[in-house]
Amino acid sequence: MRQNVLLLIVFAICACNPALARVLDDKSYHLRSGSVAEWAEFEGKMPHGSRLDVSFQARKNSSESTLLIHQYNVKLEWPAEINGQKIGTLFLMEDPLVSAYRIPKGLLKNGDNVLSIVPPKENDDIVVHGLELLDGPPERAFEATLNVTVTEAGQPVPCRITIVNERDELAALHVATNQNAAARPGVVYTGAGRARIQVPSGPPAGYKVFASRGPEYSVATQVVFVAERAAADVHLAITREVPTPNLVSCDTHVHTYTHAKHGDATIRERMLTIAGEGLELPISTEHNFLAEFAEAAGAAGVKQYFTPVLGCEVTTKRGHFNAFPIAPDSRVPDFRIEHWPALMENIRATPGVRVVVLNHPRDVHTGFCPFAETNFNAKAGENLRGFEFSFDGVELINSGALRSDVMQVFHDWFALLNYGSKIVGVGASDSHDVSRFIVGQGRTYIVSDDKDPGRIDVDQAMTNLLQGKALISLGLITTMKVDERFGIGDLATGLGDEIKINAEVWGPSWATADRIEIFANGKRILDNAIPHVAHASKYSLSLTIPKKERDFHLIAIATGPGVRSPHWAIPRPYQASSPVWNPRILGATNPIWIDADGDGKFTPLRLQN
């Protein structure tokens, strides 16, 4: 049944500039495809319905036209149709944005026409408003131009350019395909630090332009007003704010649409996003497929900015595992194996493989959740399926599949460590997209030589990762030392009666840390508030504790309010366990192992008498 039928009035056509011919409707429509509110902000609100049909008057279009739709909170696929013909799908992104759709020549009719937004089968709350119709395709209808240049230390640099309109929505834009760029609503990644971006004009249109390059860099902004058929030059300079000497920024979980057929980032676009987010060691982890990044990085002109590593996401019916590095021309591990010991044996027989990571352990895929209460004792750290865990690492942060409680998997990990499983914690993005889920938003900083990002020593990085010499990051970096001698991943031995702990928290000026916690064997021994500061060095502390009689591991975790700025907004949980969304950023260490009994080794809590 068609609902919310509304007559839209065609505005007068300006003969001197047909691109300004528009059909507008400024009403807001809340649509719900399911029976319950998806998020707390929609609770108690009566939706307009599940489907939207808007009637409007138009003339037959003799060439392509452009439809603009203002949208918010779109998680699932909502097809957009005109006169029963699909012209696209609402852009998959929860942030407010304006998406543009090409209307094929001749699809509009003289007289009555109908625009429809069709609901998916699953539950989703969305808001659409501000429907606009422009004559001509985007490359002709978007007549204002922003010529953006982004530099670091005076030189153009790969980066992300984010553009919002006066409503703080990611703006509709067009970037010609002959540019070295990846463009989505409100977002352009450029490998050369330059982009020519077309945007809708009007009366002088106001836009805010951001330049960023991941969590180690500042963000630069400029508000610009551009008139019809005019161009504006935007020069933005970013600086390196967070020092990371001998720390290699790694994303252990990276996809492309080209090979995964999920998301929207082609392999060429992925290279630009990797360089634009300042990643140095991206791991290619397509589902049951080996996809080399090196050739694509060279073709995109960004190979000097990172060292790609070949890996694979072994996607089984009983869990997903990232395996890397993999020697070129190797076979894909047998993803049909469901029994984990046999699967691990098969994966490790793949040439080159040194690291196996359990991905998103609390997510449900094909009806299976690795850390469901029927499979895993979250208090004791025991696998209830009758065999010992033998993977090397576990995703504590997956920014493409965040948990409602960002600490949930950390507590699982504490239990694993107490059980005796020396499993390394990692951060990753699991990104398949250009802009919806930001590649490298979740990342792992591995202790390794980072002087030449295009020539990282992969063997050294893998050795240190397996030793736990790594930090987990979602916008913040937390470091720690014991007695000023022992760092992350070390066995601290030969200690006196008291142990001195030093910890530091770092992050870009646009991110805030408000809390640091230190855990001993998973129990909190320190919980300090962090005062707000507007610079990269967020906090430092020095703490002295008694050595204790038995061994224990120390982990430091800093958190802060989630970034809301459109240049690096924290996404909503992938499989939410609560309608309340309270995003947090985070920086955590791997353990320092304290040899409290002085026997020269570490004994986990479960094996202590």
Assign residue 351 the CATH number of its domain: 3.20.20.140
pLDDT at 205: 80
Q: Does residue 200 sit in the same domain as residue 262? A: no
Domain end marker among 186, 210, 238: 238
> What separation, in Å, do the N-terminal and C-terminal C-alpha atoms of the chain show?
69
Q: Does residue 50 sit in the same domain as residue 90? A: yes
Asked if 58 and 108 count as a contact pair (C-beta separation under 8 A), the reply is: yes
Structure confidence at residue 24 as a pLDDT band (50, 70, 90): low
Averaged pLDDT for residues 114-142? 95
CATH of the domain at 159: 2.60.40.10
What are the Cα distances from residue 171, in Å, to 46, 450, 459?
28, 36, 43
Query: Does the pLDDT of residue 5 top 70, yes or no?
Result: no
Q: Which domain holds residue 29?
A: 7-137
Average pLDDT over the chain reads 94
Q: Does residue 155 sit in the same domain as residue 39? A: no
Tokens of 50: 């599940």
pLDDT at 534: 87
Q: Does residue 234 sit in the same domain as residue 338? A: no
Query: Does the pLDDT of residue 327 top 80, yes or no?
Result: yes
Beta strand ranges found along 429-536 (DSSP E)? 443-447, 470-474, 477-482, 491-492, 498-506, 515-520, 523-529
**In this predicted model, what pLDDT tens digit does every residue of 399-430 receive, in sequence order?**
999 999 999 999 999 999 999 999 999 999 99
Averaged pLDDT for residues 465-473? 98
Query: Does the pLDDT of residue 608 top 60, yes or no?
Result: yes
Structure confidence at residue 202 as a pLDDT band (50, 70, 90): confident
Structure confidence at residue 241 as a pLDDT band (50, 70, 90): very high
φ/ψ of 277, rounded to 5, equals -100, 10
pLDDT at 26: 79
pLDDT at 11: 27
Which residue bears the tokens 């895929």? Answer: 365
Q: What is the DSSP letter of 71?
A: E
Q: Does residue 169 sit in the same domain as residue 118? A: no
Q: Does residue 117 sit in the same domain as residue 252? A: no
Query: Does the pLDDT of residue 225 top 70, yes or no?
Result: yes
Q: Does residue 523 sit in the same domain as residue 570? A: yes
| C-alpha to C-alpha distance for 542 and 147, rounded to whole angstroms | 48
Q: Is 204 inside a domain boundary?
A: yes
Q: Does residue 509 sit in the same domain as residue 588? A: yes
Q: Tell me the residue type at 378.
A: A
Q: Is 2 inside a domain boundary?
A: no
Q: Residue 351 in 3-state DSSP? A: coil
pLDDT at 282: 98
pLDDT at 21: 40
Structure confidence at residue 18 as a pLDDT band (50, 70, 90): very low
CATH of the domain at 47: 2.60.120.260
- The pTM of the full predicted model, rounded to 2 decimals, is 0.95
Averaged pLDDT for residues 498-522? 98
Q: Does residue 368 sit in the same domain as residue 489? A: yes
Q: What count of residues does the chain have?
A: 609
Asked if 382 and 376 count as a contact pair (C-beta separation under 8 A), the reply is: yes
Q: Residue 547 in 3-state DSSP? A: coil
What are the Cα distances from residue 500, in Å, to 480, 490, 541, 547, 605?
10, 15, 10, 9, 21
Domain end marker among 137, 155, 176: 137
Bridge partners for 322 per DSSP: 313, 357
pLDDT at 25: 76
Determine what percent of the chain is predicted with pLDDT higher than 90. 93
Query: Does the pLDDT of residue 12 top 60, yes or no?
Result: no
**In this predicted model, what pLDDT tens digit does every residue of 250-285 receive, in sequence order?**
999 999 999 999 999 999 999 999 999 999 999 999
Q: Does residue 119 sit in the same domain as residue 254? A: no
Asked if 438 and 159 count as a contact pair (C-beta separation under 8 A), the reply is: no
**In this predicted model, what pLDDT tens digit does every residue of 31-70 receive, in sequence order?**
999 999 999 999 999 999 999 999 988 999 999 999 999 9
Q: Is 1 inside a domain boundary?
A: no
Structure confidence at residue 23 as a pLDDT band (50, 70, 90): low
**In this predicted model, what pLDDT tens digit does every residue of 543-594 receive, in sequence order?**
999 999 999 999 999 999 999 999 999 999 989 999 999 999 999 999 999 9
Determine what percent of the chain is predicted with pLDDT higher than 70. 96
Residue 342: partners with Cβ closer than 8 Å, 6 or more residues away:
none
Structure confidence at residue 20 as a pLDDT band (50, 70, 90): very low
Number of domains within the chain: 3
Q: Which of these ranges, 26-35, 198-207, 561-570, has the smallest mean pLDDT?
A: 198-207
Domain end marker among 174, 203, 238: 238
Q: Does residue 206 sit in the same domain as residue 222? A: yes
Q: Does residue 73 sit in the same domain as residue 121? A: yes
